[in-house]
Amino acid sequence: MEFSNYSNVIGIGFIVWVAMAPRTKRGNFGERFLAYMAALLFSLLGTSGIMMAKPNAFFFTVGGALAFLYVVVRSMVTVRIKR
């Protein structure tokens, strides 16, 4: 199984999971982020069992894991310029 064969599935998974990610400007970001993290965790657990039969689902969720890291880094890093 090569990652290059499934790079488009990983990319689509990344886009979909980033679109589902909670926005940091909302008041209840913590609750939404916990639900997002739990959904991704259960998706990873569910697709790891069927990886050999249906690798597309697993690599779609790998894209979701990359999106999760992107969301965490985006919420942690803020750039502010003082004048």
pLDDT in tens, 6-53: 888 888 888 888 888 877 776 777 777 888 888 888 888 877 777 777
Tell which residue, 76, 70, 79, has the closest CA to residue 36.
Answer: 70
pLDDT in the model for residue 58: 82
DSSP-derived secondary structure for 8-33: HHHHHHHHHHHHHSPPTTSTTHHHHH
Collapse the DSSP code of 2 into the 3-class scheme (helix H, G, I; strand E, B; otherwise coil) and give the result. coil
pTM of the model: 0.73
1 pLDDT above the threshold of 70: no
Rounded distance between C-alpha atoms, residue 11 and residue 17, angstroms: 10
Span between the terminal Cα atoms of the chain, in Å: 52
pLDDT tens digits, one per residue of 46-81:
777 777 777 888 888 888 888 888 888 887 777 677
Copy the structure tokens of residue 6: 């499934």
